[in-house]
Structure 1
Amino acid sequence: MNPITLFEQWFSEEKSQNNRKLSNACCLSTVGLDGYPNARFVSLKEIVEDSFVVTGSLSSRKGREIENHKKAALTFWWTSSERQVRIQGDVTKISQALAKTYFEQRNRDSKIVAATFTQGEEIQSISQLKEQFEAQKTELENREIKLPENWSGISIQPIRIEFMEFKNSRLHERILYQHVENRWKSTLLQP
């Protein structure tokens, strides 16, 4: 089976078992600017041309890390189905048109936050942050919020995808797919 098809099947099964939108949540890991791994949770937008798309501020730490080292990993943990998927791959920036489409799908408050703040920068206080947000919300009340220059997304073209299904017996079923010579090669792994 093609691992992208298997991922989509597992993803669909998790969404049907779990009525919350957390099925899209995944851990994005990058190589830090200091050489240490860095991880944070993001939301998978969709799979486009067999690549996994996530969005956000490219001037953030994750954006700078990806610009410096165009490789990343995604890890999904699905509680309802007790499955894990690990993806490693090469990163490219998505098109401006696709970024605009994703930005327009965000709720208004998310757009205001993206347009107002520089993700990951230091602040003086939470109350100052809230005041600035409310001021921007009032100022932008009847105006369209345009895509910020630093907001886009990345596409992760997988080179490895590992699926693990947890079992009560502890004999977890693991299969690793590796993209080698333009085809997927699968290997069974011990638990």
Structure 2
Amino acid sequence: MTDDPHALFDAWLAEAVASEPNDPNAMALATADAVGRPSVRMVLLKGHDARGFVFYTNQESRKAGEIAANGHVALLFHWKSQRRQVRVEGPIGPVTDAEADAYFASRARDSQLGAWASDQSRPLASREAFEERFEAAKARFEGGEVPRPPHWSGYRVAPERIEFWQDRAHRLHERRLFTRTSDTAWTEGLLFP
């Protein structure tokens, strides 16, 4: 048993990758606007290390607006087949341009073009309108590289709390809570189920 929450997360994620049928890196991202109204949606984890948990998105989206208004978020990983979940809470900030450029370059071309075509979270008149914008982006970048749009980047959640929840019989679950005490140190305790 490890006392390093990042190592424990890596182990649990590896087990989820081996058993979850779809998107083991899916996580619920909870944000709140400036007056505290919550919002939650699924996003994909695209990187994780001691600095935090990284995902990418359109910076003109609703989630980005809420992040700008309230710089603290929560994440939830739920691996149903493993009967486990991990909760993460902490401040959020942008990744570097170099990180965003590198990840964007690794995406499938159609995903890159989709980032140019989508006004994420804004009203859409019809599916056909979006498909026309996609085709226009395809024509615009035909024969060349697709650069990262200026409104598309990533965020890193720097965890202050990480809770590991393991299902047990009769709802006698196991909950381990790690709380950050410094840049490199954590305290660990158990929570009642």
The number of equivalent residue pairs is: 190
State the identity as a percent.
36
Q: Mean Cα displacement is larger for which, 32-41 or 156-165?
A: 32-41
* Contact 1:115–1:145 (CA under 8 A) maintained in structure 2: no
* Contact 1:30–1:62 (CA under 8 A) maintained in structure 2: yes
* Contact 2:45–2:54 (CA under 8 A) maintained in structure 1: yes
1:8 equivalent in structure 2: 10
* Contact 2:6–2:49 (CA under 8 A) maintained in structure 1: no
Structure 1: segments with no counterpart, 5+ residues: none
Calculate the aligned-residue CA RMSD, in Å. Answer: 1.5
Deviation, structure 1 residue 34: 4.5
What does 1:48-63 correspond to in 2, within 5 Å?
A: 48-63=49-64
Deviation, structure 1 residue 23: 0.6
Q: Distance in 1 between matches of 2:131 and 2:119?
A: 14
C-alpha distance 181-51 of structure 1, shift in aligned 2 (>3 A): closer
Deviation, structure 1 residue 14: 1.1
C-alpha distance 34-124 of structure 1, shift in aligned 2 (>3 A): farther
TM-score (norm 1): 0.93
Residue 190 (structure 2) pairs with residue 179 (structure 1): no
Deviations 1:128-173 (A, max 9, x none): 2222223332443322111111111111110001110112332111
Q: Distance in 2 between matches of 1:169 and 1:35?
A: 35
Q: Distance in 2 between matches of 1:98 and 1:127?
A: 33
2:135 equivalent in structure 1: 134
What does 1:21-100 correspond to in 2, within 5 Å?
A: 21-100=22-101
Structure 2: segments with no counterpart, 5+ residues: none
TM-score (norm 2): 0.92
* Contact 2:29–2:75 (CA under 8 A) maintained in structure 1: yes
Residue 115 (structure 2) pairs with residue 114 (structure 1): yes
Residue 138 (structure 2) pairs with residue 101 (structure 1): no
Q: Mean Cα displacement is larger for which, 8-17 or 178-187?
A: 178-187
Deviations 1:95-121 (A, max 9, x none): 000000111111111111111222111
